[in-house]
Amino acid sequence: MSADLSPIDKAKFAAARRATDYVEDGMRVGLGTGSTAAWLVKCLGEMVREDGLRLTGVPTSSRTAALAREVGIKVVSLDEARWLDLTIDGADEYDSNLNLIKGGGGALLQEKIVATASDQMVVIADISKQVDTLGAFPLPVEVIPFGWQTTKVLIEETLIGLDVLGRDTSLRLNGERPYVTDEGNYILDLHLNRIGNARQLSLVLNQIPGVVENGLFIDVCDAVVIGYGDGRVEVR
Ligand code: 5RP
């Protein structure tokens, strides 16, 4: 599967394939969203089809649900599964405490719910996602469409008192229209550059009316499988 891949895709594929080691027969597994998670879903599909792996997948987006079905994975909703053995997902950034920024692909809400409902969460990422301090990647915040411009102002005002380096926020677009999440919400991307206290920021953001959820995953991730462009893998 990995022949002719670019170094970045080789890294993503290597991390995804190694993460399948965490999957045991009969498990209920949360399936992440994004290009790295797509490699995982393809690898798991191959194991289902060729090795007879019994797996129940709970996808974190409509995109992942479609791909999982396509490759032969049994898909159920989180309400049907209730609790999961494991979730494997990508990330936009991870730090040395395994705290994350997620939501670059717009699926942070389902991703956070599914990861939190899992005994274990494993992140798969290429080494470029590793940072000393979170925040260079714009922090996605899912907001209700009603009054989103007011919510945006409230977020910007709230940021004044916090340990961040930037305060610009932008509405994520899909062409000329707002990007709409699977839940029918919008996403504001917060250009903070550096997040000094991610735990505090996450708590404060989620108290603002109109905010549904933010892309900081604090104390959720148990391990990161890191892929390199030459196909090497390291686990943290
Ligand atoms: C989607 C996510 C993705 O996991 C994150 O954006 C990483 O994506 P990729 O593997 O394509 O780099 O959080 O909401």
Q: State the pLDDT at residue 125.
A: 98
Tens of pLDDT along 187-218?
Answer: 999 999 999 999 999 999 999 999 999 999 99
Angle between helices 35-51 and 7-19 (to 10 degrees): 50
State the catalytic residue, choosing from 93, 111, 142, 213: 111
Low-confidence ranges of the chain (pLDDT < 70): 1-3
Cα(214) to centroid of ligand 1, in Å? 14
Residue length, the chain? Answer: 236
Task: Name the β-bridge partners of 59.
Answer: 31
User: Is 116 marked as binding a ligand?
Assistant: no
pTM of the model: 0.97
Q: Is 6 annotated as a binding residue?
A: no
- What is the pLDDT at residue 1? 62
Q: How far is the CA of 105 from the centre of ligand 1 (A)?
A: 5
Residue 2 has a pLDDT of: 62
Could you tell me the sign of the dihedral formed by the alpha carbons of 74, 76, 82, 88, in that order? positive
Residues 6 or more apart in contact with residue 65 via CB below 8 angstroms = 59, 75
What is the distance between the alpha carbons of residues 158 and 160, in angstroms, rounded to a whole number? 5
**Residue 230: exposure state from Cβ atoms within 10 A (0-12, 13-18, ≥19):** exposed
ipTM above 0.85, yes or no: yes
Instruction: Enumerate residues lining ligand 1, CB below 6 A.
Output: 32-37, 89-92, 102-108, 111
Is 24 designated active site? no
Contact 208, 190 (CB under 8 A): no
**9 annotated to a ligand binding site:** no
CB atoms < 10 A from the CB of 39, how many? Answer: 25
Nearest to 17 by CA among 50, 35, 44: 44
Which tokens hold the place of 30?
A: 């949360």
* Residue whose C-alpha is closest to residue 100's, from 234, 211, 195: 195
CB atoms within 10 A of CB 79: 7
Contact (Cβ atoms closer than 8 angstroms) between residue 108 and residue 102 = yes
**What is the 78 CA–ligand 1 centroid distance (Å)?**
20
